[in-house]
Structure 1
Amino acid sequence: MQRVYEPENLMEGELLQGMLASEGVESHLTGRDLLGGVGELPVFGLLGLSVDNDQAEQARLLIAEYNAALPLSGDEPDNFPDVLEC
């Protein structure tokens, strides 16, 4: 197993883990159980995405492409229901 990425938070880690799974790359999100110790443990480096050695390069490439992606223009709705505009 190789640690290929350190997500900033649990939500990013789970999002990337799901994205990798959709591409056929099995990953493990390590450190999620340590988040309860924040304040007593260092804040950085607790979370990590690990994959099998033979899928490490593919996982790094997929994560880099995902992080470099930009939203498509025109995807925003004209208005948002139930949102108060001030």
Structure 2
Amino acid sequence: MRVVYEAAHLIDAHLVRHALEDAGIPVFLRGEALIGGMGELPLFGAVQVCVPDAAWAQADGVVRELALGDPPAEPDPYAAMPPPAWLPA
């Protein structure tokens, strides 16, 4: 098994897991069982998404397509605004 993604938290890990399983890749979440034993404070970075060695290249492509580390594009606040009525067209 090889780590294809280190999740920031459990929800992040499950999102990647479901994307990989939809692509037909078997997935194992390493560290998932440890999350509940950490008390009231959340433990971040403890869950790793693992796949079989033979499926790692395909899984890496699926994870890259998810673009999880990319910040969202900033929308142009003026793009959806109509021009003012006093401005000649």
TM bracket, shorter-chain basis: 0.5 to 0.7
CA distance in 2, matches of 1:27, 1:3: 10
Unaligned runs of 5+ in 1: 72-86
Q: Which residue of 1 aligns with 2:29?
A: 29
**Runs of 4+ displaced beyond 4 Å:** 68-71
* Secondary structure at the counterpart of residue 3 of structure 1: strand
Unaligned runs of 5+ in 2: 74-89
CA distance in 2, matches of 1:62, 1:11: 17
Q: How many residues align?
A: 68
* Larger Rg over CA atoms: 2
Q: TM-score, normalised by structure 2?
A: 0.65
CA distance in 2, matches of 1:9, 1:45: 6
CA distance in 2, matches of 1:58, 1:34: 28
CA distance in 2, matches of 1:14, 1:52: 17
Q: What displacement does 1:32 show?
A: 1.0
CA distance in 2, matches of 1:54, 1:65: 19
Q: TM-score, normalised by structure 1?
A: 0.67
Equivalent residue letter for 1:26: P
CA distance in 2, matches of 1:12, 1:46: 11
